[in-house]
Structure 1
Amino acid sequence: MKISFVNQPWTDACPPEGGDSTGIWSYQIARYFSANDHDVICYGRQKNNNNDHDRKSSIEYRGISPKLDERLQIIGKIATKLDVKSQLPYFASKWFHYGYGLQVALDAAKNTTDVIHIHNFSHFVPIIRKYNPKAKIIIHLHCEWVNRLNQKAIAPRLDQADLILSCSDYITNRIAARFPQYSYKCKTVNNGVDSNYFAPPSTPRPQSSTDSPQFLFVGRISPEKGVHDLIDAFIQVTQKYPKATLTIIGAHVIVAKKLLFDLQPEPEVQALERYYYLDYLEHVKSLVPAHLAKQIIFKGSLPQEQLLPYYQAADVVINPSLSEAFGMSLVEGMATQTPVIATKIGGMTEIVDDQVNGLLTDPGDPQALAAAMLKIVDNPQFALGMGKAGREKVLQSYSWEQIAENLNSHYAAIEAKFESNVSKKTVTRSLFPAN
């Protein structure tokens, strides 16, 4: 069986080196299906103008050249403005990375692909469907674009998909509520974590280190990630723990204002407007008092294989986001048996069971965040129990094998439904045999 994963146009086709969550997802799930004797292709951005085809571990990575889209960009923007009926911004119009979608559609057709799994870009569904009428097409949403854009313009795209996946129940439920006619197609397939690699340290964390607790943030440096709130909270914590450290890992990659701020009316998001008119990284660095300059450490972007020591050394992993569909750093931290703190936003409330494997705080509230940080480091046994509970939840729900098996069951269900419609009788044969 041939399966294609269509990454976002800015995600490298080959295995991701940094923290691109959708690229990580495709890579890990592709490994699972490849190991179970399926032919797998991962589409993504052509890297450094190298040969666009590469094969690693029986997975084929196909890089798509951006040159066609570079030529079409001006035409696409003009066409979008003239298309007053759709009421869609350029980034959601059919013209946004149209060349990428077209090249994927044609290549998939040439390879008679059976399953085409598209990340986030709903406007790729029609063009891919046009050239692959018999393929099973899945749209997998990792953000709220579909929920926030013109309903009449989005509905035809969802209509042509065989399955609508989301990375959290939060997103799934909102899509099902907004498009009830397609609610039967809406399912959740979470992000995951390599629980064999992201594991607790071989020797227990020393509980005597509470005079110099280590806090960790892993994520993009962008206004909606709430790094400014975290620094504010950390400064408050150092009043009690003057030797505390905060390590911030992630690239300075700002989500464009039109992709987030212009779509989400929630007050915590609207409060971020001023940050879009300055250099956000320089701003958050300016919040650091001189006497804490060596204790708040900006590491920049790191590849996945370099993150483990930071998670294992941390006393607390914190995600203070103001908009978050899932929260990868939380499950990575929990896998290493590290207590976590998250805001009561989006899919993070599904990951963190308050007072059990971590703590939840109100978004945009540095005082509450500081109180949660202190509660954990002040109570080592409480922290130890939360860490163990977090690891247990990861093993129960978030290993990549479990995520892939969940996806496998959804693939099998749509194939069974297709066979039933063709034969007019119940079909029990699965496209993906059980292991």
Structure 2
Amino acid sequence: MQKLTYISNLAVNKTSGGGFGVNAATFASLQSEFDVKYIGPVSPVVREVEQYFSKVQKLLRLPRNYYFYSDSRLSQVRDELQLKLATSLKAPLFFHGITPWIKYKPEVAYFVHTDACFASYVDVFNNGEIFRKKDIARIIHLERSWLDSATAVFFRSTWAMNETVRLYELAGKNFHVTGVGGFADFPEHDSYCGGYNFVFISKEFIPKGGQVAVDAFLKVQQVYPEATLTIIGDEPSAAIKERPGVVCTGMLWKEKQVDKKSFQHILTGAFAHIHPTTKDTNTLVIAETSYYGCPSIAPLAFGMADQIVDGETGFLLQTPIEIEDLKNKMLWMIEHEEIYLKMRKQARAYARLHQTWEGVGKKISSIIQHTL
């Protein structure tokens, strides 16, 4: 069996979702095809002086360095990685993520799995913050060269791949789109039994569009008082929690069996998943809700176009998402029952074909085997 060294800044035994979940799922899928050795977590602490200086600059609204990827910290990552790889066989390398590793120059074939490049992250998640242009350019220069030299780079969405090609002015001949999966069991049947229980799932209520979701729901509730909204994850304000028909579960951690069962129970009875996010790359919850036949409404932005077939498995809305537009799609689902029920079947079928970690793993493994 071909040997492969898997390198990550995260532990591979955490499966709660997000970056941890993707990391664990990728590692597990590679193990089915390769003899994989894990090295990690490689994540040296940030120097306090760099962090403090950056925070002072932020308070003073001065351009600041991106301290998490300072030259000294990237050098620490490189040195730690070199030390850990010194006793390893010269097997091909597989990196979880991009930016932490850009000062390490592999002498063997290497593969990269990511949801977006650094420039996209800064644009999406640090929008409005002021960084020193020279410091951002330093990181982008290193990352551009490192990606261009990789044997293959696996992106989780077409959007992320195209943005990297555009922002880094790369040909992208070694770039591939592999998609994402979810961290929920894929039930044998859709057990939805009726009702209008909308769900909103996020670790960040406001950036993921929580207020827009609530405002749209309240307008729907004026027409259909029996409608409910379950908010999973980051909790909203007390005023929202006290609204009739709104249920907040708090965070549900899937590595805890009781939380996992609660999460899956909610999805079993969910009518639709609303995700009017403004800060994202791709999201695992669209895959997870689709497993249960629950269609999603999300923006025509980021990686969502790979996850939703507009009008067939859910809806994609123009950005920025307006409350009225979201409300209208929610009402449409309620008022077009026959088409809606067909949408549930199509959401499950599309997810089974395109949004499982088994499928993602097979794509990645096939490309690795073909290139070695």
The TM-score normalised by the length of structure 2 is 0.81
Quote how far apart the aligned CAs of 1:367 are.
Answer: 1.5
* Amino acid corresponding to residue 193 of structure 2 in structure 1: P
Q: 1:74 to 1:286 in 2, by over 3 A?
A: same
Out of 199, 220, 230, the position equivalent to 1:237 is 220
My pick for the range that moved more, 339-348 or 104-113, is 104-113
Contact 1:200 1:312 survives alignment (8 Å): no
Helix, strand or coil at the partner of 2:4: strand
- 1:181–1:241 distance in 2 versus 1, CA, 3 Å: closer
Which residue of structure 1 lines up, in the alignment, with residue 267 of structure 2? 311
Question: Is the aligned partner of 1:402 residue 2:359?
Answer: yes
Corresponding position: 1:133 with 2:90: no
Deviation at 1:108, TM superposition (A): 2.9
2:58 matched to which residue of 1?
A: none
> Offset at 1:344?
1.4
Q: Is the 8 A contact 1:3 1:113 kept in 2?
A: no
Q: Structure 1 residue aligned with 2:83, among 106, 110, 115?
A: 106
Q: Deviations over 1:316-369 (max 9, x none)?
A: 112111132222111111111112211111110221111111112233311211
Cα distance in 1 for residues equivalent to 2:146 and 2:91 = 19
Question: Offset at 1:286?
Answer: 4.5
After TM superposition, give the deviation of residue 410 of structure 1 in Å: 2.2
1:301 aligned partner: 252
Q: What is the distance in 2 between the residues matched to 1:405 and 1:312?
A: 28
C-alpha distance in 2 between matches for 1:223 and 1:6: 33
- Residue 348 of structure 1 is matched in structure 2 by 304
User: Which structure exhibits the higher relative contact order, with contacts defined as CA atoms closer than 8 Å and separated by 6 or more residues?
Assistant: 2
Q: Is the 8 A contact 2:115 2:156 kept in 1?
A: yes
The answer to whether 1:198 aligns with 2:186 is: yes
Q: 1:216 aligns with which of 196, 199, 206?
A: 199
- State the shift of 1:14 in Å: 3.8
* Unaligned ranges ≥5, structure 2: 55-63, 124-135
2:45 aligned partner: 69
After superposition, give the CA deviation of every residue in 1:54-110 in whole Å (9 maximum; x if it has no partner): xxxxxxxxxx5x6x525x44368879xxxxxxx962233333465455433422332
On the 8 A contact 2:208/2:277 being kept in 1, the answer is yes
Question: Per the alignment, do residues 138 and 76 of structure 1 end up closer, same or farther by CA in structure 2, a change over 3 Å counting?
Answer: farther
Separation in 1 of the partners of 2:275 and 2:182?
16
1:309-348 superposed matches below 5 A: 309-348=265-304
Distance 1:170 1:125 in 2: 22
Which amino acid in 2 is paired with 1:34? Q
**Identical aligned residues as a percent:** 17
1:249 alignment partner AA = I
1:26 corresponds to 2:23: yes
1:226 Cα shift? 0.8
**In 1: Cα distance, 2:189 partner to 2:289 partner:** 12
CA separation in 2, counterparts of 1:249 and 1:42? Answer: 33
1:49 match? none
Q: Is the 8 A contact 1:77 1:90 kept in 2?
A: no
Q: Secondary structure at the match of 1:224?
A: coil
Residue 347 of structure 2 corresponds to 390
- Counterparts of 2:51 and 2:93 in 1: how far apart (Å)? 25
Q: Secondary structure at the match of 1:325?
A: coil
Q: Aligned to 1:385, what secondary structure does the other structure show?
A: helix
The whole-number CA distance in structure 1 between the counterparts of 2:45 and 2:268 is 43
Deviation at 1:291, TM superposition (A): 4.1
Q: Select between 146-155 and 173-182 the one with higher mean Cα deviation.
A: 146-155
One-letter amino acid of the structure 1 residue matched with residue 363 of structure 2? N
Match of 1:15 in 2: 13
- CA distance in 2 between counterparts of 1:154 and 1:88 reads 16
Q: Kindly provide the amino acid, as one letter, of the partner of residue 217 in structure 1.
A: F
SS where residue 112 of structure 2 aligns?
strand
- CA change 1:200–1:334 in 2 (3 A) is farther
Q: Quick check: 2:213–2:323 contact (8 Å CA) kept in 1?
A: yes
> Which of 217, 237, 255 lines up with 1:285 in the alignment?
237
In structure 2, distance between residues paired with 1:175 and 1:341: 26
Aligned partners of 2:144 and 2:53: how far apart in 1?
23
Judging changes above 3 Å, is the alpha-carbon distance between structure 1 residues 123 and 221 closer, same or farther for their aligned structure 2 residues?
A: closer
Matched, 1:359 2:315: yes
Question: Residue 183 of structure 1 aligns to a residue in which SS?
Answer: coil
Is the contact between residue 120 and residue 139 of structure 1 (CA under 8 Å) also seen in structure 2? yes
Distance 1:399 1:113 in 2: 31
Query: For each residue in 1:185-219, what CA deviation from the matched residue of structure 2 results, as whole angstroms up to 9, or x when unmatched?
Result: 22112111368x222556x4223x3xxx1111222
The aligned residue for residue 132 of structure 2 is none
One-letter amino acid of the structure 1 residue matched with residue 5 of structure 2: S
Does 2:66 align with 1:89? yes
Aligned equivalent of 1:155: 144
Aligned partners of 2:30, 2:13: CA distance in 1, in Å? 15
